[in-house]
Amino acid sequence: MVEQLERRSVFTRSQEDYLKALYLLGGDERPVPTRDLAQRLGISSPSVSEMVTRLSAQGLVEHDRYRGQQLTREGRKVALELVRHHRLLEMFLVRVLGYSWDEVHDEAERLEHVISERMEQRIFELLGRPQLDPHGHAIPTLGGKVRAVTAFPASASNKQNFLERSR
């Protein structure tokens, strides 16, 4: 766990945001066009190209000028760690602090970059080792596995049933 903490500390918040956005756009399975990544991040394509060049030099992203960018194995690890932090934080904010599920995203966006691995583990244990966040998205395991989940409307959820249904 200490190795993970040291590894993450070398990345900027911006770099982490790029990696997470690339993952959420399917960049762990296929190349994502620069314009899609730019749109997701709300920035210009030239800015994306500049950052992708840096991430590629760090071995986190593979870039093809015509097809787009895709996460490397190491880039996927960093992205999944952020996704895990984000989703655990959302669940913590809902269950422990009483936020509604529709207001947790922005708070989790800010906090995902600063929590320690120790805090992540304590939140995970406190919440009873949840597999899904309040929106029904799978929480990646520490080993980087993401479970497939059965989709059903979030409106079918209530405070006692936090979409803890999975295949």
Cα gap 124→162, rounded to integer Å? 15
- Helical (H) or strand (E) element with 61: strand 61-64
How does 92-114 read in b/e, with b if 16+ C-beta sit within 10 Å? bbbbeeebebeebbeebbebbbe
Question: What's the domain count of the chain?
Answer: 2
Give residue-wise pLDDT tens across range 139-159: 999 888 888 776 554 544 444
Percent of the chain with pLDDT over 70: 83
Q: What is the pLDDT of residue 166?
A: 35
For 165, the token pair is: 């249904």
Torsion of the alpha carbons at 104, 9, 25 and 165, rounded to the nearest 10? -50
CATH number at residue 118: 1.10.10.10
Is residue 163 a part of any domain in this protein?
no
In the structure encoding, which two tokens stand for residue 157, read together?
């959820």
- Enter the DSSP assignment of 154: G
Domain boundary (19, 53, 75) is at: 75
What are the pLDDT digits (tens) for 18-45? 999 999 999 999 999 999 999 999 999 9
